[in-house]
Amino acid sequence: MQQLDYILKRLVMAVFIFISVSILTFFIARVVPSNPAAAWVGPHPTKEQIEKATIELGLDKPLYIQYIRYMQGIMVGDLGTSVKTRQPILTDIKTFLPATFELVTVSMLIATIIGVPLGVLSGAYKGSWFDNFTRLVSIAGVSIPVFLLGLILQLLFFKQLELLPLGSRLSIKVSLFNPINQITGFYLIDSAITGNWIAFKDASLHIILPALALATYPAGLALRMTRSTMIEVLSEKYIMAAKISGVQERTILFILALKNAIVPTLNALALSFVYSLTGAILIEIIFSWPGLGTYVTNAVLGIDFPVIVSVTLIMSVVYISINLILDILQAFIDPRVTMN
């Protein structure tokens, strides 16, 4: 019963946060000095054209009526029309979002593969030179700006070593002679499903640098979280008993201890996934990655408020949903959470 009440409270809070974000972003977009109607008409618009566009876009109505109409559209899956592309925003997002999700997913996999094992070993050998080194690495990972790291990686692996491509998702040659039959929008998955291994290799090479740059923050965070929880778990009695019983150290660290230490790290990584979605904007610009960040950047430069508001709401929904899922899972895993 307590778990059900807890879940209902979290659902109500999630809805309240979503409505608050929608109101805030909508009205801020409307009060910023600009003229979306003029942007809709195009270059060198006349006064009559602007007035006509203002009526067509509903900008002549009071703000609260514009907001109500906007929310009514959202409820039926209509996010509006982009001023810049003249396409339904939902159609544009379906085009650009898979590229961003693929980049962020690969970066989170890299962060997990690097951060968690290093955190386990750092916690196991607390105070050693390895622990001090990994702590320094984690601090650098969460501190260095991603755009700076992206530029450094380009200079090193493209300019100096000539090992990896500079940017984009696919080389021009491969896109012409070995195009990917898009099914999911994830180039790595689609090329593997269709057996297009030339495109798979090319897409893999193109995603390495931006994914590495984007993975630095979550990797540093995962390392620090895993280290701190491992230090606590390794002092538990059942770990001591396992050591006395002669269980291999590798089994103790990566199975017995990590099983209980990984939960806070996974929570942090789940929230970092949303952070990376927004942080990918700079990376996509630097690496010419045709994702949601590029789409939003063009919308900001073109004063495309419907796109700005819609993308902000989508990111908010993703963040709220992940938080809600984590809260519900924690309520089932640890009933003590419902008592707070």
DSSP for 240-254, written as a single string: HHHHHTT--HHHIII
| Judgement on whether residues 55 and 117 belong to the same structural domain of the protein | no
Q: Which of 212-221, 269-278, 328-337 has the lowest mean pLDDT?
A: 328-337
| Judgement on whether residues 117 and 243 belong to the same structural domain of the protein | yes
Q: Is the model's pLDDT at 338 over the cut of 70?
A: no
CA–CA dist 210, 228 (Å, integer) = 28
Buried b / exposed e over 312-335, threshold 16 CB at 10 Å, is bbbbbbebbeebbebbbebbeeee
Please check whether residue 43 is in contact with residue 334, taking contact to mean a CB–CB distance below 8 angstroms: no
Up-side HSE of residue 102: CA atoms within 13 Å toward CB?
A: 24
| Judgement on whether residues 101 and 231 belong to the same structural domain of the protein | yes
| Judgement on whether residues 228 and 279 belong to the same structural domain of the protein | yes
In a domain, 62, yes or no: yes
CA–CA dist 257, 233 (Å, integer) = 6
199 contacts: CB under 8 Å, gap ≥ 6: 170, 174, 178, 179, 180, 187, 191
| Judgement on whether residues 20 and 140 belong to the same structural domain of the protein | no
- The pLDDT tens digits of the residues spanning 97-133 come to 899 999 999 999 999 999 999 999 998 898 899 999 9
| Judgement on whether residues 124 and 226 belong to the same structural domain of the protein | yes
In a domain, 90, yes or no: no
| Judgement on whether residues 7 and 125 belong to the same structural domain of the protein | no
Bridge partners of residue 88, in order along the sequence = 81
**What is the sign, positive or negative, of the torsion defined by CA atoms of 12, 13, 18, 24?**
positive
- The pLDDT tens digits of the residues spanning 145-189 come to 888 999 999 999 998 988 999 889 999 999 999 999 988 889 999
In a domain, 125, yes or no: yes
In a domain, 91, yes or no: no
Q: Is the model's pLDDT at 30 over the cut of 90?
A: no
| Judgement on whether residues 129 and 229 belong to the same structural domain of the protein | yes
CA–CA dist 248, 72 (Å, integer) = 60
| Judgement on whether residues 197 and 329 belong to the same structural domain of the protein | no
Please check whether residue 287 is in contact with residue 150, taking contact to mean a CB–CB distance below 8 angstroms: yes
In a domain, 315, yes or no: yes
Q: In this predicted structure, what is the pLDDT of residue 2?
A: 66
Q: Print the domain residue range for 285.
A: 96-301
Please check whether residue 223 is in contact with residue 122, taking contact to mean a CB–CB distance below 8 angstroms: yes
| Judgement on whether residues 75 and 167 belong to the same structural domain of the protein | no
| Judgement on whether residues 238 and 155 belong to the same structural domain of the protein | yes
Query: Containing H/E element for 13?
Result: helix 2-31
What are the structure tokens assigned to 119, written together? 């955190």
Q: What is the pTM of this model?
A: 0.83
In a domain, 273, yes or no: yes
Number of domains the chain contains: 2
Bridge partners of residue 81, in order along the sequence = 88
Q: In this predicted structure, what is the pLDDT of residue 112?
A: 92
Q: What is the CATH number for 181?
A: 1.10.3720.10
DSSP letters spanning 118-142: HHHHHHHTTTSHHHHHHHHHHHHHH
Cα→Cα distances 41→56, 63, 172, Å: 11, 21, 34
